[in-house]
């Protein structure tokens, strides 16, 4: 992980620098025109959120059942990043909705459950902060449950009529002219976001590792 | 051994409730008061506002459940019996199942009281499809209680547990709330929308299965502190 | 182990029951009356897209940099304390 950090960070930065150009060159979607281009950061935010969610859920399970402190560090980093990328997704989604549908918010299934997922992981961070001694275990329980609820959230868009575009729209993205099809630009942004997620994850885990090292130093000093 | 322990825990709580009636009366009274307040606000001249009945009955049931969850482990903590429960040779998950059954029974008692009450106050045909209605309420109750009992046990030693429990519980059980309310309201339409109700029931069953199994699995490591 | 397998078996059976119930019906798509397609509105009534687009991207960029900076700051503080401790030990 450490050796790969710098190359990944550089590639991620480069991809993000190029992203506006790629997005600008992508074809207009027929009904929504310019505003639809939020899609290229909106969907990858949710992809990164899913990655963070998986990391948090798996790490929480490992921490709860095996007691490994390294797993706990990954769990808290994953939870913070879930909350962060969820915030990005919700903010970009609301701005898109305001232009495309004329409303800031609507309590349809997917939006509601995305908001709830955000609340769950903010709850994780609250439990972590205010849970007293042994809060890591409680937070790990929350992380597992939060990750388990996520599939119910994802599937809900297929099971309830909604004004949110259905998931199948991703596969029908092709362009009539020669500009890079929407799908390529989308994948590019997704990769960029996943790399960004990896960079932020390793930074956050490093912070926790240094904190643990500091605690160890303090303990040694006391002896 | 497992089932015996679970039933013993249930019997113990039931015996205490029979003697003191502490959780039973307060929870039911609170639920009834909630429905009364809603009926004052949402029923004008004997005509209820469209589509509110299902949500109201579920709100009342879930608030009652929240109160019950807050008390169920509090009693153990207060009497220091939690240590005895954890030290006993019985499998820990059996303790969880016993508590879960207690909460489910209490919430079902609340529902038995509230559903006819809402049927009368809001003039809704609650009993048009009794089997499906019972199924929706039962599965929703089990889902909510499963997650709630685990979180109540988890937060036992935390000082701010009374505040944290609703904060962590309600977002987690949103699938139950949505499926329960929509399933119930599908049954309350003029001609009950059976496919819709069965669809939401299926979601509730799936949620129950996943989260009861998950709770059984994680109860032991979460309660070892 | 056997118990865990039993739990999984029961849950599979129950999931099967759930799927079977699910086969029974799919939700009816309700009508979308009341919604007017945005492009059919006269330009005076439409909301300009560019500010929203810029805000969306801007917020995400700012968010990422803010988060990375906050981690960097905290990391710097921890490492400073570590250096101070090491110096004291020597």
The answer to whether residue C27 sits within a structural domain is no
Q: Which of residues 14-73 of C touch B (CB under 8 A)?
A: 14-15, 17-19, 21-22, 24-28
Phi and psi at residue B48, to the nearest 5°: -75, 155
Count other C-beta atoms under 10 Å from residue A11's C-beta: 14
pLDDT of A174 above 70: no
pLDDT at residue number C43:
53
What secondary structure does DSSP assign to B72-101, as a single string? HHHHHHHTTHHHHHHHSSS-HHHHHHHHHH
pLDDT at residue number A4:
67
- B210 touching A, CB under 8 A? yes
Rounded-to-integer distance, Cα B63 and Cα B155, Å:
18
pLDDT at residue number C18:
56
pLDDT at residue number C41:
54
Which residues, 6+ apart, have CB-to-CB distance to A136 below 8 Å?
Answer: A63, A72, A76, A128
- A87 touching B, CB under 8 A? no
Task: Name which residue leads in pLDDT, A140 or A16.
Answer: A140
Contacts of C25 in chain A (CB under 8 A): none
Bridge partners, residue A29, by sequence: A33
pLDDT at residue number A219:
87
Vertex B214: Cα angle to B210 and B218 (nearest 5): 175
pLDDT of C54 above 70: yes
Buried b (16+ CB within 10 A) or exposed e, B100-125: bbbbbbbbbbbbebbbebbbebbebe
Rounded-to-integer distance, Cα B58 and Cα B114, Å:
9
Residue B104: pLDDT band (50, 70, 90) is very high
pLDDT at residue number B100:
93
CB contact under 8 A, C56 and A42: yes
Rounded-to-integer distance, Cα B101 and Cα B146, Å:
9
First-to-final CA distance of chain C: 54
pLDDT at residue number B156:
82
Residue B85: pLDDT band (50, 70, 90) is confident
Q: Please name the residue that has the structure tokens 């039911």.
A: B28
CB contact under 8 A, B160 and A130: yes
pLDDT of B43 above 50: yes
Bridge partners, residue B68, by sequence: none
What is the residue-averaged pLDDT of chain B? 87
CA dihedral sign, ordered A202, A61, B223, B63: positive
Number of structural domains found in chain A? 1
For the ranges A27-31, A63-67, B189-193, the lowest mean pLDDT is seen at: A27-31
Count other C-beta atoms under 10 Å from residue B149's C-beta: 27
The answer to whether residue A24 sits within a structural domain is no
Supply the range of the domain harboring residue A170. Answer: 37-216
What average pLDDT does range B171-196 have in this prediction?
85
Among the listed residues B220, B221, B7, the one whose alpha carbon sits nearest the alpha carbon of residue B97: B7
What average pLDDT does range B118-139 have in this prediction?
87
The answer to whether residue A165 sits within a structural domain is yes
- B208 touching C, CB under 8 A? yes
- B119 touching C, CB under 8 A? no
Number of structural domains found in chain B? 1
Rounded-to-integer distance, Cα A146 and Cα A116, Å:
10
Task: Name which residue leads in pLDDT, A40 or B103.
Answer: B103
CA dihedral sign, ordered B127, B129, B134, B137: negative
The answer to whether residue C34 sits within a structural domain is no
Phi and psi at residue C18, to the nearest 5°: -65, -45
What is the residue-averaged pLDDT of chain A? 79
Cβ contacts below 8 Å, chain B against chain C, sum to 46
Contacts of C56 in chain A (CB under 8 A): 38, 41-42, 91-92, 95-96
pLDDT at residue number B45:
77
pLDDT of C2 above 50: yes
CB contact under 8 A, B213 and C26: no
Which tokens hold the place of A90?
């919700």
Number of structural domains found in chain C? 1
Residue A42: pLDDT band (50, 70, 90) is confident
- C-alpha distance from A46 to closest chain B C-alpha (Å): 18
What average pLDDT does range B114-131 have in this prediction?
85
pLDDT at residue number A176:
47
DSSP letter, residue B21? -
CB contact under 8 A, A116 and B211: no
Neighbour subunits, A (≥3 Cβ pairs < 8 A): B, C
Rounded-to-integer distance, Cα A190 and Cα A197, Å:
10
Cβ atoms of A186 and A143 within 8 Å: the answer is no
Among the listed residues A28, A79, A21, A18, the one whose alpha carbon sits nearest the alpha carbon of residue A49: A79
Neighbour subunits, C (≥3 Cβ pairs < 8 A): A, B
Which tokens hold the place of C63?
């968010």
Over residues B58-79, the pLDDT tens digits come to: 999 999 999 889 888 888 877 7
Phi and psi at residue A132, to the nearest 5°: 75, -165
Rounded-to-integer distance, Cα B127 and Cα B192, Å:
11
What average pLDDT does range C19-40 have in this prediction?
49
The answer to whether residue C37 sits within a structural domain is no
The answer to whether residue A31 sits within a structural domain is no
pLDDT of A123 above 60: yes
CB contact under 8 A, A88 and C60: yes
Q: What's the predicted TM-score (pTM) here?
A: 0.79
Cβ atoms of B175 and B185 within 8 Å: the answer is no
For the ranges A18-27, A146-155, C63-72, the lowest mean pLDDT is seen at: A18-27
Which tokens hold the place of C26?
């799919």
Rounded-to-integer distance, Cα B107 and Cα B60, Å:
10
What average pLDDT does range B69-95 have in this prediction?
82
Phi and psi at residue B44, to the nearest 5°: -110, 120
Supply the range of the domain harboring residue B192. Answer: 2-222
DSSP letter, residue A171? G
DSSP letter, residue A29? B
Over residues B189-220, the pLDDT tens digits come to: 878 888 888 888 988 999 999 999 999 988 88
Over residues B136-170, the pLDDT tens digits come to: 999 999 999 999 999 998 888 787 888 888 888 98
pLDDT of B33 above 50: yes
Q: What percentage of chain C carries pLDDT values higher than 70? A: 47
Over residues A198-223, the pLDDT tens digits come to: 989 998 999 999 999 998 888 887 77
Q: What percentage of chain B carries pLDDT values higher than 90? A: 32
The answer to whether residue A221 sits within a structural domain is no
Q: Which residue in the set C14, C19, C27 is minimally distant from B196, CB to CB?
A: C27
pLDDT at residue number B142:
96
What secondary structure does DSSP assign to C35-74, as a single string? ---GGGS-GGGSPPHHHHHHHHHHHHHHHHHHHHHHHHHH
ipTM over 0.90? The verdict is no
- C5 touching B, CB under 8 A? no
pLDDT at residue number B141:
96
Which tokens hold the place of B13?
């709580």
Task: Name which residue leads in pLDDT, C2 or B22.
Answer: B22
Supply the range of the domain harboring residue C62. Answer: 48-90
Contacts of A96 in chain C (CB under 8 A): 52, 56
The answer to whether residue A102 sits within a structural domain is yes
Which tokens hold the place of B20?
């003191």
Count other C-beta atoms under 10 Å from residue B138's C-beta: 17
pLDDT at residue number C32:
44
What average pLDDT does range B20-35 have in this prediction?
87
How many C-alpha atoms does B78 have within 13 Å on its Cβ side?
6
The answer to whether residue A132 sits within a structural domain is yes
Which range, A105-109, B35-39, B134-138, has the best average confidence (pLDDT)?
B134-138
Which tokens hold the place of A188?
């590019």
Which residues, 6+ apart, have CB-to-CB distance to A222 below 8 Å?
Answer: none
What average pLDDT does range B17-38 have in this prediction?
87
**Residue B47, SS3 per DSSP:** strand
């Amino acid at each position: 992980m450490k050796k790969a950090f710098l190359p990944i960070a550089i590639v991620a930065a480069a991809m993000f620098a190029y992203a506006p150009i790629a997005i600008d060159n992508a074809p207009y979607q027929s009904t929504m025109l310019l505003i639809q281009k939020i899609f290229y950061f909106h969907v990858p935010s949710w992809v990164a959120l899913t990655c963070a969610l998986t990391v948090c859920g798996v790490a929480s399970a490992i921490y709860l059942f095996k007691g490994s402190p390294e797993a706990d560090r990954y769990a808290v980093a994953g939870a913070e990043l879930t909350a962060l990328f969820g915030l990005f997704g919700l903010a970009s989604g609301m701005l898109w909705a305001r232009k495309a549908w004329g409303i800031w918010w609507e309590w349809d299934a997917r939006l509601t459950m995305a908001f709830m997922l955000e609340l769950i992981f903010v709850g994780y961070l609250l439990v972590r902060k205010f849970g007293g001694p042994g809060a890591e275990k409680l937070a790990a329980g929350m992380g597992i449950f939060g990750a388990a609820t996520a599939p119910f959230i994802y599937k809900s868009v297929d099971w309830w009529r909604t004004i949110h575009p259905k998931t199948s729209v991703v596969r029908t993205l092709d362009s009539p002219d020669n500009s890079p099809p929407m799908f390529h630009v989308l994948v590019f942004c997704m990769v960029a976001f996943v790399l960004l997620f990896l960079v932020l994850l390793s930074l956050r885990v490093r912070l926790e590792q240094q904190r643990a090292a500091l605690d160890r130093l303090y303990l040694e000093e006391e002896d | 051994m497992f089932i015996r322990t679970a039933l013993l825990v249930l019997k113990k709580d039931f015996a205490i409730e029979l003697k003191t009636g502490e959780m039973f009366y307060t929870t039911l009274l609170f639920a009834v008061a909630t429905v009364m307040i809603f009926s004052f606000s949402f029923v004008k001249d004997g005509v209820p506002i469209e589509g509110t009945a299902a949500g109201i009955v579920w709100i009342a049931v879930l608030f009652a459940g929240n109160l019950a969850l807050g008390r169920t482990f509090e009693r153990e903590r207060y009497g220091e019996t939690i240590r005895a429960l954890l030290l006993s040779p019985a499998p820990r998950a059996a303790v969880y199942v016993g508590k879960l059954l207690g909460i489910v029974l209490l919430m079902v008692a609340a529902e038995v009281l509230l559903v006819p009450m809402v049927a009368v106050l809001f003039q809704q045909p609650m009993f048009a499809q009794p089997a499906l209605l019972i199924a929706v309420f039962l599965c929703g109750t089990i889902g909510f209680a499963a997650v709630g009992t685990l979180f109540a046990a988890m937060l036992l030693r935390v000082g701010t547990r009374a505040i944290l429990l609703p904060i962590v519980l309600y977002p987690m059980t949103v699938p139950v709330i949505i499926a329960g309310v929509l399933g119930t309201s599908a049954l309350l339409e003029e001609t009950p929308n059976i496919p819709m109700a069965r669809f939401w029931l299926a979601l509730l069953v799936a949620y129950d299965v996943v989260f009861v199994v998950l709770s059984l699995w994680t109860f032991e490591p979460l309660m070892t502190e | 182990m056997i118990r865990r397998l039993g739990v999984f078996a029961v849950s599979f059976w129950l999931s099967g029951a759930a799927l079977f119930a699910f086969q029974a019906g799919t939700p009816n798509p309700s009508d979308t009356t009341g919604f007017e397609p945005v492009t059919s509105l006269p330009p005076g009534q439409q909301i300009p897209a560019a500010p929203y687009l810029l805000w969306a991207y801007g917020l995400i960029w700012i968010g990422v940099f803010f988060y990375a900076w906050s981690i960097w700051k905290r990391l710097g503080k921890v490492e400073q304390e570590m250096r101070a401790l090491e110096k004291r030990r020597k």
